[in-house]
Amino acid sequence: MVISSIRNIAFLLFLCAILIIPPVSTITLSPGNSFAAAPTIANGDLVFIHGIATGHPGAGLQVWLIGYNYVKITTVYTNADNTYEYELKSADTKTLASGQYFVLVQHPMMNAEFDIYYDSSTGSVINRQLGTGTSIIQLTGGGSLQNPDGANALMQAINSQNIDDTFATTSFIVGNPTAFINPVGDHVAGDKFTITGSTNLAAGNNLMIEIVSSSFKPSQKVQGAEFSGSAGIVTVEPGTDGLNRWSFDVDASSFKPDEYIVKVSGTTNEVTGSTTFNIVEKLPATPATAVTVKTTTILPAVTRPAAISSPEPPATESPAPIAGVIGILCVLILARQAGKQK
């Protein structure tokens, strides 16, 4: 319990906020940081690992760098202000195979010696506290563990209850250098626009951007003397999601209508990318979009008249009396004619 308490207090004092710093951008990792979300670098990039370690250990700090079939162990010393720094030079990272690399910074703590150490003669990791020293991990050579198994076994060994050493970890990924160009699209001669892209090169690296007309062939003497294009060097800026970004401003006032080739290449790294775009006299007119307007006609309210009763037709007299009068007149006329004949 006493050893465990000392370890906990010591670990808090061991403020190993490890930083992995490409030439410009800085990535801060906390002590005991997991190996997830590791930053990506390209071959040839510089890597700086630094932080703070209290106690000014006379034996310094032991930095373990473990990758696939790769182990490098280095001792670094703290400065007067308790800071330390370890640098992986461009020549170091240039030869690293693609993959994830695990970094473990070990502090010797109270007894001022590393209880877990590497024996280069056998390729084994030795636990000094077991007898006169016992091999516990085969880190290199025949039968050695591969990463991340070797890194995990090393952490478990240092974290053992009978070991007062403590540590902090981080990791990074080495990827083949890549450079991408975002779609440029068509532009009109005279436009000013920006070409953008991304790369896994560290921030601070330089890229050469070249834009040239696809019809430009210097070997053809019959071609006009005018050169249509542009070129320049840009600096990689910090980005997100494991990729950094770059941009290049273009003034197409001297560009002739043609297809153009954009090429991006590293000034110190072997990385290239390319794409094409067109410069046209004018962009095609955008067809007018017919807009259908739906209107609603509101008719005035119609007041329905009140119900009107139909008037009853006037009463008519029966036709029988008229027929009787006509019959009497006919009888009188016949009687008069009969009297005249007598």
Provide the CATH number for the domain around residue 208. Answer: 2.60.40.2840
Query: Is the domain of 12 the same as that of 158?
Result: yes
Q: Is the residue at 231 inside a domain?
A: yes
How does 87-109 read in b/e, with b if 16+ C-beta sit within 10 Å?
ebeeeebeebeeebbbbbbbbbb
Query: Is the domain of 77 the same as that of 205?
Result: no
Q: Is the residue at 303 inside a domain?
A: no
Distances (CA, A) of 227 to 140, 211, 213, 230, 311: 58, 11, 8, 9, 102
Query: Is the domain of 144 the same as that of 246?
Result: no
Query: Is the domain of 132 the same as that of 29?
Result: yes
Are 260 and 279 in contact by the 8 Å Cβ rule? The answer is yes
Residue at a domain's end among 175, 205, 236: 175
CA 161 to CA 1: how far, in whole Å? 9
Are 122 and 133 in contact by the 8 Å Cβ rule? The answer is no
Query: Is the domain of 21 the same as that of 163?
Result: yes
Q: Is the residue at 321 inside a domain?
A: no
Query: Is the domain of 106 the same as that of 195?
Result: no
Query: Is the domain of 211 the same as that of 228?
Result: yes
Q: Map 257-324 to HEC letters.
A: CEEEEEEEEECCCCCEEEEEEEEECCCCCCCCCCCCCCCCCCCCCCCCCCCCCCCCCCCCCCCHHHHH
pLDDT per residue rounded down to tens, the chain (342 residues): 555 554 544 444 443 444 444 433 334 444 455 556 677 778 878 888 888 888 888 889 999 999 888 999 999 999 999 888 888 888 888 888 888 999 999 999 988 899 999 999 999 999 998 877 889 899 988 888 877 788 889 999 998 888 989 998 888 888 888 899 999 999 998 899 999 999 988 788 899 999 999 886 655 555 454 567 899 999 999 887 768 899 999 999 889 999 999 999 988 777 889 999 999 987 666 665 655 656 555 555 555 554 444 455 555 444 545 555 566 665 566 666 665 555
Query: Is the domain of 205 the same as that of 168?
Result: no
CA 140 to CA 125: how far, in whole Å? 9
Residue at a domain's end among 175, 200, 234: 175
Q: Is the residue at 228 inside a domain?
A: yes
Query: Is the domain of 112 the same as that of 190?
Result: no
Token reading at 189: 């001669």
Q: Is the pTM of this model over 0.75?
A: no
Residue at a domain's end among 280, 306, 330: 280
Q: Is the residue at 75 inside a domain?
A: yes
Query: Is the domain of 161 the same as that of 215?
Result: no
pLDDT at position 219, please?
Answer: 55
Sort 53 into a burial class: Cβ within 10 Å, 0-12 / 13-18 / 19+. buried
Query: Is the domain of 221 the same as that of 118?
Result: no
Query: Is the domain of 105 the same as that of 214?
Result: no
Q: Is the residue at 156 inside a domain?
A: yes
Q: Is the residue at 242 inside a domain?
A: yes
Q: Is the residue at 334 inside a domain?
A: no
- Split into its structural domains, the chain has a count of 2
The parent domain of residue 106 ranges over: 2-175
Token reading at 91: 């020549």
Assess whether the previous peptide bond of 31 is cis (omega < 30° from 0): no
3-state secondary structure of 109: helix
Sort 133 into a burial class: Cβ within 10 Å, 0-12 / 13-18 / 19+. middle
